[in-house]
Amino acid sequence: MNSVFEVQKTIREVLVKILDNHSLEQLNKIPQGFNNNIIWNAAHCVAVQQALVYKLSGLPTMVSKEFIVKYSKGAKPEGDVSQEEVDEVKALLSTTLQQTKQDYSDAIFVNFQEYTTSLGNTISDINGALEFNNYHEGLHTGVIMSIRKFV
């Protein structure tokens, strides 16, 4: 599973770099033809990772229920986020990865509630959740790359 964590680390480093290299206005801008913005997509990656890995394992998440709801599938930005919120998301991109890696190493993911994604992919264990999460974060990184062209 080390390669899965290395891929996620690379994705998240790219996301942090994008957040660092765009103004708050750019991070909050929703270009025409898009439903959300750069910061929403980055936070969505954190929220979904927490839901896929921790919630489906019956474990407490590292982010609040409100954070997960705010950035869950189907949600849209309800207004601009502050610089403090951007800083929180940047920190979470690192801390949630490190904690998940440690928790995986400590074998705390013993139970898992099977879940079928909207794509029809059934995730039946923690390894599948971590692998699918990388696909999901890669997809949203691509969306962010597209949004960048319009902000």
| 127 close to 1: Cβ distance less than 8 angstroms | yes
State whether the Cα torsion 93-36-87-17 is positive or negative.
positive
Q: Which two tokens stand for residue 35?
A: 């439903």
Q: How far apart are the first and last CA of the chain?
A: 36
Angle (CA) 78 84 90, round 5°: 95
Place of tokens 């597209």: 146
Q: Which two tokens stand for residue 56?
A: 């489906």
Q: Classify residue 40 by its DSSP letter.
A: H
Q: Which domains does the chain have, with CATH numbers?
A: 2-148 (1.20.120.450)
| 4 close to 16: Cβ distance less than 8 angstroms | no
Residue in 122, 103, 125 with CA at minimum distance from that of residue 112: 125
- Cα 77 from Cα 66, distance rounded (Å): 13
| 38 close to 148: Cβ distance less than 8 angstroms | yes
pLDDT digits (tens, 9 = 90+) for 54-97: 999 999 999 999 999 999 999 999 999 999 999 999 999 999 99
pLDDT digits (tens, 9 = 90+) for 17-65: 999 999 999 999 999 999 999 999 999 999 999 999 999 999 999 999 9
The pTM assigned to this predicted structure is: 0.96
